[in-house]
Amino acid sequence: MNTQKNLDRLARLCVQFGLGLRPGQELVLTADIGAIDLVRRITREAYAAGASNVLALYADDESTLARYTHGSETALETAPGWLYDAMAGAFRNGAARLAIAGNTPGLLAGQDPAKVARANKAMSSAARPMLEAITSGATNWNIVPFVTEGWARQVFPDLAPDAAVERLWGHVFAALRLDRDDPVAAWRENFAELERRRAHLQGLALDALHFEGGGTDLTVGLARGHKWVGGAQTLEDGTTYAPNLPTEEIFTMPDRARTEGRAVFTKPAVIGGSIVEGLVVTFEAGRAVSIEAEKGGDVAREYFTTDEGASFLGEVALVPESSPIARSGVLYFNTLFDENAACHIAFGNAYAMNLSEGADPEEAGMNKSNIHMDCMIGSPAIAVTGIGPDGARHPIMADGEFVI
Amino acid sequence: MNTQKNLDRLARLCVQFGLGLRPGQELVLTADIGAIDLVRRITREAYAAGASNVLALYADDESTLARYTHGSETALETAPGWLYDAMAGAFRNGAARLAIAGNTPGLLAGQDPAKVARANKAMSSAARPMLEAITSGATNWNIVPFVTEGWARQVFPDLAPDAAVERLWGHVFAALRLDRDDPVAAWRENFAELERRRAHLQGLALDALHFEGGGTDLTVGLARGHKWVGGAQTLEDGTTYAPNLPTEEIFTMPDRARTEGRAVFTKPAVIGGSIVEGLVVTFEAGRAVSIEAEKGGDVAREYFTTDEGASFLGEVALVPESSPIARSGVLYFNTLFDENAACHIAFGNAYAMNLSEGADPEEAGMNKSNIHMDCMIGSPAIAVTGIGPDGARHPIMADGEFVI
Ligand SMILES: [Zn+2]
Ligand SMILES: [Zn+2]
Ligand SMILES: [Zn+2]
Ligand SMILES: [Zn+2]
């Protein structure tokens, strides 16, 4: 495997296909400082594509930790809102947004969960205007992964660090179709398939989805006027972009008040740097009324009560078990991958793009929150049934695979 | 030399003495990515001192170069003004400002000077509101040095890179008084001496300074109501801080229209990453009417015509040849050091702090520009004479040393 060459191909894929960067457009990217090699390749690629400016904002694990190890109580509740506001303004003025996702999972595992929750709350509240600018369709955006040693060691704890990094890059490049002769053609093909199923589900105009199997028995009521979304997005000016790379999901908006039953989560969730395993949640009238976990239950309960909306759902998504990521059999401890390996629901904020034009958010039951946390419920045991407004039952997935 | 220990002492000096960071105050710092080791120490030190938030914004040589090697013409004229505006807002709202100066000198030496000048102009124009927020006394700020390999190799080209880095750190630590038992006490002593001379010069109420020796014969008319400044600064709320560490200068504001004669510059100037050597400038009625150099003359002429004010002076400063930095005999290719080794004048923007309260900036002849470039004229051959409003001549320096 030629990692250098593949990183260049990743930079090109992300600028030209993922972002669809326009000549003259500004690019604002965020990355962990460990991903600087990819940042530099993307910067060159973006300038070559005609970017007017490329600005990289870096996060650093050690500085993140210093807030907990050396910071005051005030520091835990402070976030640089002025910076997020300024970024929101830049996106509204047309700057493209790229996030390189390469954090160290479990970084904050040794910290007090209550402190982690307070810091997360301050951060997500400050970042909210920025999140809204991005998700409201103001600009083209893209998230791509970067393999850090911390991530690789967690995924492959039995390998030497170098070998773990190389093995994980191998899976990441495969998931990104960078092992194909023509990655962009491969993505176009995948997006066509996503679009076919998306249109089919939209045509069914369902009232709810029922997930059953492996201990899960969950009915997710869908928002009135819900819109199924997946694969590529298009801005008003015609710019086409792919928010997530890799992406295998089609997803829509739940009615916040109409989720009922029990969800057994099939993969760990990484919440503010802590890992939550064996999560089981019971819903009544949309609210998570019982949150239990084998590990990290306190972190989950804190996080899902960050604000009122954090206990309700903002997204429901379908992913077949035959997706390349699921087939790799690897547990990635990383939402960008694990959410594309399995059907999932998300606690917290709903995406405006999942509501049809003219639909009333209030009436539809659109959820609002400062958080958005995807949690996986898919497995080879899961069956998904669509329930029409008339009560008719439409088989959607069986044994974890689409039947549409 | 224990570099690790001295870096910790540098972090402490800069947070506690240089910045005078207040508990609950936010800190915004900028650094080259190569200085991350010091950034992390400062971050921990700042949180320990009660910082509410520490935000680090990083620059990266390779990304800076990519603008020239891969960018469009538009990219050369674009700067992220929205980010500088947001930073200006943060400083006005009380955030402290720390700059870690550790750029690679000569980084852009291979680039087209016209392109470098255009990019510098765009950048300094965008950064102006931020510069004004800082220099108007809105907040406490501090600049400290960091040794990069590129810098060390330029200063000590005959040493192996590791040895050059260690040698330069040795000089930097000494200039910062970190080789003393009590660096803060040493700085307090130095600042008392600066204050004594500052008060003396202020009391003389001079009309002009005359520099003579080594080919220089230059009269710098001083602004009516000029204020001599040096060493520590104090905010309205009583916070005391030292803008530059190290610092050995006392400086004031020229009348933009009253500089006459010839200045032979005694150290190279680094302009937007290019090095200008053997600079000789002739002034008439304040304006630089002839700009010649042995090397980099084009860069200098471009830069000093960035805007109208760039051809006029904004600062004049006195530094004795016996300053620890001058005595090291090292040419640092770095303004923070070289300007503290020699008397200098600065092209471009004047500092509001160099004007007495109530003085009219227009009448005083205060210069305005998007640039501020210090250029050294001091040497063991220089004599400085103060000229009173009545024409009386007051000896200030002889053979490069203070006689007051
Ligand atoms: Zn999803
Ligand atoms: Zn989601
Ligand atoms: Zn100066
Ligand atoms: Zn200066």
Note the ipTM here.
0.82
In this predicted structure, what is the pLDDT of residue B1? 63
Report d(CA B181, CA B176) in Å as an integer. 12
The yes-or-no verdict on residue B348 having pLDDT over 70 is yes
pLDDT at A267 over 80: yes
Across chain B, what does the average pLDDT equal? 94
- The contact set of A with B (CB < 8 A) is 23-24, 26, 28, 33, 36, 39-40, 43-45, 47-48, 50-58, 60, 62-63, 66-67, 69-72, 74-75, 78-80, 82-83, 85-86, 89-90, 93
d(CA B300, CA B139): 32
For the beta carbon of residue B91, count every other beta carbon within 10 angstroms.
22
Q: Does the pLDDT value for residue B58 go beyond 70?
A: yes
Candidates A12, A57, A10; CA nearest to A36 is: A57
For residues B261 and B216, give the distance between their C-alpha atoms in angstroms, rounded to a whole number: 8
What's the rounded mean pLDDT across residues B349-364?
92
- Condensed to tens digits (0 to 9), the pLDDT of residues A125-149 reads 999 899 889 877 789 999 999 999 8
Share of chain B above pLDDT 90, in %: 80
In our burial notation (b when 16+ CB lie closer than 10 A, e otherwise), range A72-105 reads beebbbbbbbbbbbbbbbbbbebbbbbbbbbbbb
Distance CA B85, CA B80 (A): 9
pLDDT score recorded for residue A197? 96
Which residues sit opposite A291 in a β-bridge?
Answer: A281
The least confident of A376-390, B103-117, B144-158, B192-206 is B103-117
User: Mean pLDDT, to the nearest integer, of B141-167?
Assistant: 94
**Rounded-to-integer distance, Cα B358 and Cα B353, Å:** 12
**Residues listed for chain A:** 404
Interface touch B70/A44, C-beta < 8 Å: yes
| Mean pLDDT on B76-103 | 94
B260/B218 Cα distance (integer angstroms):
6
Give percent above pLDDT 70 in chain A.
100
Per-residue pLDDT at A106: 77
Instruction: Please report the pLDDT score of residue A104 as a whole number.
Output: 77
Q: Which of A354-358, A372-376, B261-265 has the highest mean pLDDT?
A: B261-265
A253 DSSP 8-state letter:
P
Rounded Cα gap, residues B240 and B238, in angstroms = 6
Q: Quick one: which ligand is closest to A371's CA?
A: 2
What residue type is assigned to position B136 of the chain?
S
Cβ contact (<8 Å) for A80 and B55?
yes
| Percentage of residues of chain A with pLDDT beyond 90 | 80
**Ligand 2 center from residue A148 Cα (angstroms):** 22
pLDDT of residue A51: 98
Mean residue pLDDT across chain A: 94
What is the predicted pLDDT for the residue at A367?
Answer: 98
Cβ atoms of residues B20 and B241 within 8 Å: yes
Q: Under an 8 Å CB criterion, which residues of B touch A?
A: 23-24, 26, 28, 33, 36, 39-40, 43-45, 47-48, 50-58, 60, 62-63, 66-67, 69-72, 74-75, 78-80, 82-83, 85-86, 89-90, 93
CB contact under 8 A, B26 and A80: yes
C-alpha count within 13 angstroms, C-beta hemisphere, residue A362? 0
Q: Is the pLDDT of residue A167 over 90?
A: yes
Distance CA B178, CA B158 (A): 26
CB atoms within 10 A of CB B154: 20
Distance from CA of A171 to the nearest CA of B (A): 28
Largest CA distance in chain A: 59
Cis bond before residue A243 (omega within 30° of 0): no
Q: How many CB atoms lie within 10 A of CB A262?
A: 14
Nearest to A320 by CA among A379, A265, A244: A379
Q: Ligand 3 mean position to B118 CA, how many Å?
A: 25
User: What was the pLDDT predicted at B252?
Assistant: 98
How many residue pairs from chains A and B have C-beta atoms closer than 8 A?
Answer: 124
CA A150 – CA A169 distance, rounded (Å)? 13
Lowest-confidence segment of B119-123, B386-390, B391-395 by average pLDDT: B119-123
Closest CB to A70 among B47, B52, B63: B47
Q: How far is CA A366 from CA A198, A313, A349, A353, in A?
A: 20, 9, 8, 11
Which CATH number describes the domain made up of A3-175?
3.40.1830.10
Mean pLDDT (whole number) for B52-67: 96
Question: Token pair of B205, please?
Answer: 């109420």
Of A55, A74, A93, the CB nearest to B83: A55
Residue A138 is predicted with a pLDDT of: 85
Task: State mean pLDDT over A55-82.
Answer: 96
CA-nearest residue to A66 within chain B is B44
Residue range B2-22: mean pLDDT, rounded: 94
Residues forming CATH 3.40.1830.10 domain(s) in chain A: 3-175
Please say if the pLDDT value at position B272 is more than 80: no
Mean pLDDT across the stretch A205-232? 97
Can you tell me the mean pLDDT for B97-103?
88
pLDDT at A102 over 80: no
Q: For residue B51, what pLDDT band results from cuts at 50, 70 and 90?
A: very high
CA distance B383 to chain A (A): 47
pLDDT, position A16: 93
Is A39 within 8 Å of B63 when comparing Cβ atoms?
Answer: yes
The confidence score (pLDDT) of residue A265 equals 96
- CA distance linking residue B92 with residue B94, whole number of Å: 5
pLDDT for A1 equals 64
What's the helix, strand, coil split of chain A in %, to 5?
40, 25, 35
pLDDT band at B206 (very low <50, low <70, confident <90, very high): very high
